[in-house]
């Protein structure tokens, strides 16, 4: 049976396998401590981070991490999609699109008028999905590494 649902404690091994691949894709080294911290955020009701998984025939094959994000200019909260990843062997079946569709339902239930996310400029496969389901904005992203 296929389903999208909120992440559960028993999903750890499947979630970890995907999240490690996600980190590898973006060339971000993952540590045991980092994985543990994110996993705990996903199960801490006082933390902003929430997580969805796509379960297919008993295996976790996709994940989405999202959170509430204040939008001061519009004086409202919106949703922010931090991470979206689908097992490479499962791609081409619109599982990422299904995860985004589920997030849209959640956003409606929470009163979020928008969902935002960023992706790497060279992430062409994901950008094909994003171009199909969303509107690319005119904003550029900058960051400062604080030491």
pLDDT in tens, 50-85: 999 999 999 999 999 999 999 999 999 999 999 999
SS3 letters across 47-91: CCCEEEEEEECCEEEEEEEEEEEEEHHHCEEEEEEEEEEECHHHC
Do residues 5 and 53 touch, judged by C-beta distance below 8 A? Answer: yes
Greater pLDDT, 140 or 95 = 95
Whether the model clears a pTM of 0.85, i.e. scores above it, the answer is: yes
Greater pLDDT, 9 or 141 = 9
Give pLDDT, residue 140: 84
Cβ neighbours of residue 118 closer than 8 Å, sequence gap 6 or more: 141
Give pLDDT, residue 1: 79
Give pLDDT, residue 124: 86
On the question of pLDDT at 135 being above 90, the answer is yes
pLDDT digits (tens, 9 = 90+) for 2-48: 999 999 999 999 999 999 999 999 999 999 999 999 999 999 999 99
On the question of pLDDT at 98 being above 90, the answer is yes
Give pLDDT, residue 141: 87
| Cα of 98 vs its chain's centroid, Å | 12
């Amino acid at each position: 049976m296929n389903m999208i649902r909120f992440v559960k404690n028993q999903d750890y091994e499947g979630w970890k396998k995907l999240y490690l691949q996600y980190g590898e894709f973006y060339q971000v080294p993952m540590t045991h401590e980092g994985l543990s911290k994110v996993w705990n955020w996903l199960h801490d009701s006082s933390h902003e981070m929430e997580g969805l998984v796509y379960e297919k025939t008993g295996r976790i094959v996709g994940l989405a991490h999202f959170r509430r994000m204040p939008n001061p200019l519009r004086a409202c909260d919106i949703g922010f999609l931090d991470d979206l990843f689908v097992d490479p062997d499962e791609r081409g079946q619109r599982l990422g699109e299904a995860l985004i569709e589920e997030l849209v339902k959640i956003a409606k239930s929470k009163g979020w008028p928008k969902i935002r996310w960023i992706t790497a400029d060279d992430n062409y496969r994901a950008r094909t999905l994003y171009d199909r389901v969303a509107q690319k904005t005119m904003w550029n992203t900058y960051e400062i590494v604080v030491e």
